[in-house]
A and B are shown apart, each in its own frame.
Chain A
Amino acid sequence: MSARSLTTRLIAIGGATVLIGGLAACSAGGSADTGGKVEISYLIDNGPATAATAKPLIAAFEKANPDITVKLDTRPQGTDGDNLVKTQLSTGEMADVFNYNSGSLMQALNPDNTLVDLSDQSWAKDVDPQFTKVVSTDQGMYGAPFGTSFGGAVMYNKKVYEQLGLSVPTTWDEFVANSEKIKEAGDVAPIIQTYGDTWTSQLFVLGDFANVTAQQKDWASQYTKHKETYTEEPAVAGFEHLAEGKDKDLYNEDFASATQANGLKMLAEGTGAQYPMLTNAISTIQQDSPDAVDDIGAFAIPAQDAADTRLTIWEPNGLYIPKTTEGDKLAAAKKFIAFANSSEGCKVQNDTGTPGGPYVISTCTLPSDVPPMIGDLQEYLDDGKASPALEFLSPIKGPNLEKISVQVGSGITSAAVGAEQYDQDVVQQAQQLGIKGW
């Protein structure tokens, strides 16, 4: 009996020590001023490309500002990262500067109550108004751009197109015809789909949105008011395209298990011809198969009618400061953000990453040696044939779209069922945000 109670006691003490230790570790995160120097923390996602830019940026910043040190923290990507950011903001544990999505995800952070208004900063006037819109509420502008904008487009292998004598399609039927020809030719997979990374399945739907806007200008605002749905034209086209590719057997045979990295490799090697993808994926090709970068081009996901074909644009991430950053740290954090968007900061961004599209601040310009694919995207912008993705025009984005589009693209459900499921999926999101009409 006594031996047992001793063990119990030891376990209890051990447990208590761990708990107290844990609490102490938590509170230590708050204050870290050291000898006149200000230390600020900078939170980024744990993608390798993000760190590759962040570390040299910090080094350059610390060199220019010797009295400030910047501590780099990382967070997971995707929905786990979203939750972490929300939790840290609501408990006051957020880093002094953090890098996060713009658009609907940023709106979900309750910015008026949690973020510092940056509209009075000197760089703010240089920012593209389209970007300003997606990091602002009625009460202020909360984010500075970081990185380039990018498209949701079909990345294609130009060598395959040349060998088969194909030209860039401007209508959906031409796109399907091209794909059929590639299929007849044999070895090359006409369209790459990679459901091993489920998010990649959404591109046919999300990347079609500029075409929707072209057909009906106010679709996004009507959608926010619950007056438009995905089950009807023009929006249902995205789901129909996804189903058509599967019906006509145009996808790579390992579409169900391949990952995005597999898909990009297929594209670079020419074993896959066309990949609906976010164009910032070009940086992965640059890293993994640098020789193939020049073979890659991009075109907008075609609409039914050539006149409606537009490029869907994603805005870059933003840099934000939480309201919990105060005093010296706030000043240092603002300096850091200004530095990131100065010509020096832009140089670091250009040197360390491969731009996936144009910058959204006039102080940053693309280097001369960008991949040729960026030129393809620039054409759409120059012709005024580009418009933002839905997540930058409406706060409504259902959490299950990637699963629903996997089902449609795998032939588990039909396009009509998928569209209907997605309409149900967004209801909860709209209610959570307290939007009228839902």
Chain B
Amino acid sequence: MTQVTATLTTALPPTTELSPGKAGPARKRMRSFYPAWFFIPAIALYVVFFAVPTFAGFYFSLTRWTLFDQTFIGFDNFVRFFQDPQLVSGFVHTFEYGFVTSAAKVVIGLALALLLTSPVLGRGYLRAVVFFPVLVSTIGIGITFKALMDPFHGIINGVLGAVGLPTPGWLTDPALALWSVAAVDVWKGVGIATLIFIAGIVAIPQEYFEAARVDGASSWSIFRNITLPLSRPAMGTVIILSLIGGLRSFDLIWAMTGGGPGFTSDVIASVIYKQYQAGFYGLSTAGNVVLFIVVTAIMVPISWLINRKEADL
């Protein structure tokens, strides 16, 4: 989330441009409406709860740490982390999960947004229904779907079985488990994507649509040439939000499968959590540093690419 807010705020015009006294070569102190002591509480909170833990984390990632004592071991934790047999599959699952859920949220979110900005019956109600899953706790959703997807006693297979369809082990079949969780993730997260797309589509001036219709454009070409390009800023936001969420995803997977069966739905975050659970505090801290770097390395170019295209419009 912090990275998202950071990206969004940088998109705003920098505040320095608002202050007029920028002319002199000697850098003047930035003028503020508030006295300096006003910022002390915020800075103190930031230092105590963000800066110190972050740097302590970097330090502890270089130690073998049992909570009782720590031994400095240099980069051994990172070496060991990359030797972890579950790590490679964890990375693969993380990318699969992140990109698939993100893509599904963009496509389904856009489709729903188109539907919900057109004059359909009960539009307000439908918008609420689509958004509702966002409001429910992730762990609650995970536990609920774990019960629904139970291969023998779950409602989903009960219904499928009743109409003569195959009843797969949604969360127990190694080939399906990760995708079942991804489907639930999409169901839960698509409301946000839809909301952002609705905002983007509603912001497009009506004159464009009217003009296109007068010129006899088909619905498809209106979508292709007006709606889609002009909702690109919304799409950028959706992609960034959902991709970061997907790459860091942990809570839903943990609640539904615990990374199982075996290691077949393990993602980086759950591998790290299990190392923490096992008491390998230094190692799991190193894992978090790696996760932080990987997510940043993926997100920075993507957000740069998206922002650049926005500027081109």
Contacts and interface: CB of A to CB of B under 8 A. Distances in A.
Given A257-B169, A403-B262, A410 B64 contact: no
Given A257-B169, A410-B174, A428-B283, A110 B66 contact: yes
Contacts of B85: 421, 424
Most chain B CB atoms below 10 A, which of A90, A195, A256, A406: A256
A83 interface: yes
Contacts of A55: none
A257 B262 contact: no
A79 interface: yes
A412 B174 contact: yes
Interface string A67-88: 0000000000001101100110
Interface in B126-155: 150-152
A198 B260 contact: yes
B278 interface: yes
A15 B69 CA distance: 32
A256 B151 contact: yes
B277 A403 contact: no
Contacts of B261: 195, 256, 406-407, 410, 412
Nearest to A91: B67
A89 B67 CA distance: 9
A428 B287 CA distance: 14
B258 A80 contact: no
B278 A429 contact: yes
Interface in B249-272: 258-264
Contacts of B278: 79, 399-400, 428-429
Given A86-B67, A421-B85, A431-B64, A257 B260 contact: no
Contact of A256 (B67, B172, B275, B279): B172
B151 A432 contact: no
Most chain A CB atoms below 10 A, which of B41, B150, B262: B262
B25 to A, nearest CB: 31
Given A254-B151, A257-B172, A79 B277 contact: yes
A428 B80 contact: yes
A403 B67 contact: no
A56 to B, nearest CB: 32
B151 A412 contact: no
Interface residues of A, number: 39
A256 B169 contact: yes
Contact of A87 (B67, B151, B174, B274): B67
A254 B171 CA distance: 12
B209 interface: no
A406 B64 contact: no
Contact of B279 (A15, A83, A400, A412): A83
Interface string A410-438: 10110000000100100011011010000
Nearest to B172: A256
A198 B45 contact: no
A12 interface: yes
A346 B260 CA distance: 41
B99 interface: no
Given A108-B279, A198-B260, A410-B261, A400 B274 contact: yes
Interface in A100-118: 108, 110, 113-114
A20 to B, nearest CB: 12
B68 interface: yes
Given A399-B274, A406-B261, A86 B151 contact: no
B71 to A, nearest CB: 8
A404 interface: yes
A254 B263 CA distance: 19
Nearest to B259: A403
Contacts of B174: 410, 412
A90 B34 CA distance: 42
A89 B42 CA distance: 32
B91 interface: no
Contacts of A254: 151-152
Contact of A412 (B64, B80, B264): B264
B179 interface: no
A1 B262 CA distance: 55
Contacts of A82: 277, 279
A185 interface: no
Interface string A246-260: 000000011011000
Contacts of A86: 66-68, 279
A294 to B, nearest CB: 29
A16 interface: yes
A108 B277 CA distance: 13
A17 B297 CA distance: 37
A423 B263 CA distance: 16
Contact of A432 (B86, B259, B279): B279
A400 B173 CA distance: 19
A89 B152 CA distance: 43
Contacts of A113: 68
A318 B152 CA distance: 39
Given A83-B277, A110-B66, A257-B172, 8 more contacts: A79-B278, A83-B279, A195-B260, A198-B258, A400-B86, A412-B262, A424-B85, A429-B280
Interface of B: 33-34, 41-42, 45, 64, 66-69, 71, 80, 85-86, 150-152, 169, 171-174, 258-264, 274-280, 283
25 contacts: A15-B45, A79-B278, A86-B68, A89-B67, A89-B68, A90-B68, A110-B66, A110-B68, A198-B258, A254-B151, A256-B172, A257-B150, A257-B172, A399-B279, A399-B280, A400-B86, A403-B262, A406-B262, A410-B172, A410-B261, A412-B262, A412-B264, A428-B80, A429-B278, A432-B280
Interface of A: 1, 5, 12, 15-16, 79-80, 82-83, 86-87, 89-90, 108, 110, 113-114, 195, 198, 253-254, 256-257, 399-400, 403-404, 406-407, 410, 412-413, 421, 424, 428-429, 431-432, 434
